[in-house]
Amino acid sequence: MAGVGVLHIICGRHANFRANQSAGTNLTAPVIQLNSVVTLVLAVVLLGEPCTMLQTMGGLIIIWGALIAQRQVPQSLSAAPLRFSPRKAEGLLFALFAALA
């Protein structure tokens, strides 16, 4: 358990910081919150926990929400020019790592 705590603090928090720095919180937070889905899958696969239809539907809704949050807003709808240019690939990679850690 101590090893898991160290892994979370060192790797997970660092990946969370790098994801937010690279792509911004609005893009990375929904991906980082996929940790609930990761936990559900690991509980079913490794521990043999039962997975109800309600849990499956909840996991799918979480994934769907993360995908919706990644949609791009057309430039004509944005109010002001962007000063921050997100590095989406790097940010999403670190967000996925943070969700796994």
pLDDT digits (tens, 9 = 90+) for 24-59: 888 888 888 888 888 899 899 999 999 999 999 999
Q: How many structural domains comprise the chain?
A: 1
pTM of the model: 0.69
Q: Which residues contact 32 (CB under 8 A, 6 or more apart)?
A: 16, 19, 95, 98, 99
By the 8 A CB rule, do 32 and 97 touch?
A: no
Q: Is residue 40 part of a domain?
A: yes
Q: What is the DSSP letter of 72?
A: P
Q: Is residue 35 part of a domain?
A: yes
| Confidence (pLDDT) at 45 | 94
Q: Is residue 83 part of a domain?
A: no
Domain limits at 62? 2-70+88-100
Of residues 83 and 67, the one with the higher pLDDT is 67
| Confidence (pLDDT) at 95 | 87
Picking from 9, 61, 53, 6, the residue whose alpha carbon sits closest to that of residue 33 is 61
66, pLDDT greater than 60? yes
Q: Is residue 82 part of a domain?
A: no
Q: Is residue 93 part of a domain?
A: yes
Task: Return mean pLDDT, the chain.
Answer: 84
By the 8 A CB rule, do 55 and 43 touch?
A: no
